[in-house]
Amino acid sequence: MQNKVESMLKPKFAQIKQHIIGKIKSTEWAEHSRIPSENELAEQFAVSRMTARRAVTELSEAGVLTRNQGIGTFVASFKSQSSLLEIRNIADEVKERGGMYSCNPVLLESINAIAPIAIALGVEVDSIVYHSVLVHLENENPLQVEERFVNPKFAPAYLQQNFELITPHEYLCQVAPLTEARHTVEAVSPNAEMCNWLALYNEEPCLQVIRRTWSANDIVSFTRLVSPGSKYRLGGHLTFKHKK
């Protein structure tokens, strides 16, 4: 009864989103199947088409739905999708898809930076840096391994954080707001340790993102993100303005 009351108190567009996600989760609407049009959703929920469009647009931006101009809107591939053009918090990505996010911290430690790490962070070789390895999960299934090296100068309390409650991305944005990021993307073959973290019983290609982030003119972190190719993808949308 309480859940029903809470649902009724939600804005109409949020109710429509919840309805769509529920249909997908129950498998009533399968991957790549066409969903009702905005007009049909507006009529079903007794709202304006603009309200229905907001719900569909937000789910499309979250990678839950895909739009095909002139044809309709469809349930997206069940691969999780992240934007290559912006840095987003993985917990937010999972929640926007209607999933349950959780995290398994594997390692939190201080280390002496070897040459490649020192160069990536812009610090002296053998200086102390923070090192973390986390496994991000969606609906209790491993989705991504995050290995991160952090310059303690910008996040002195990094190792004291509870990363089951806050992601490294969220924490670092609080203490050292990001101003720049550079990344490279490639396909890699996971080693035995990575297969164990990602629960890969049959070795498969993985998507690896190497990313460095800056706050002002200083490098804050150097990160390696690895996800199974069958579960994750990167996407983006660009709009170009042409001079008349």
User: Each residue of 81-122: pLDDT tens digit?
Assistant: 444 445 677 888 888 878 899 999 999 999 999 988 888 898
Question: Rg for the chain (alpha carbons), in Å?
Answer: 21
CA distance 155 to 153: 6
Rounded average pLDDT over 73-85: 59
State mean pLDDT over 50-54.
Answer: 92
The string of pLDDT tens digits covering residues 3-45 is 444 455 678 888 998 888 888 777 788 877 889 999 999 999 9
CA 199 – CA 228 distance, rounded (Å): 10
Instruction: Return the CATH fold of 80-235.
Output: Chorismate lyase (3.40.1410)
- Residue 238 has what pLDDT? 39
Exposed (0-12), middle (13-18) or buried (19+): which is 114, by Cβ within 10 Å?
exposed
Q: Beta strands of 24-71 (E only): which ranges?
A: 65-68
The rounded mean pLDDT for the chain is 83
Q: What residue spans define the domains of the chain?
A: 2-75, 80-235
pLDDT of residue 2: 45
What architecture is the 2-75 domain classified under in CATH?
A: Orthogonal Bundle (1.10)
Pick from 206, 237, 188, 240: which is nearest to 86 by CA?
237
The three-class DSSP label of residue 169 is: helix
**How far from each other are the two terminal CA atoms of the chain, in whole angstroms?**
58
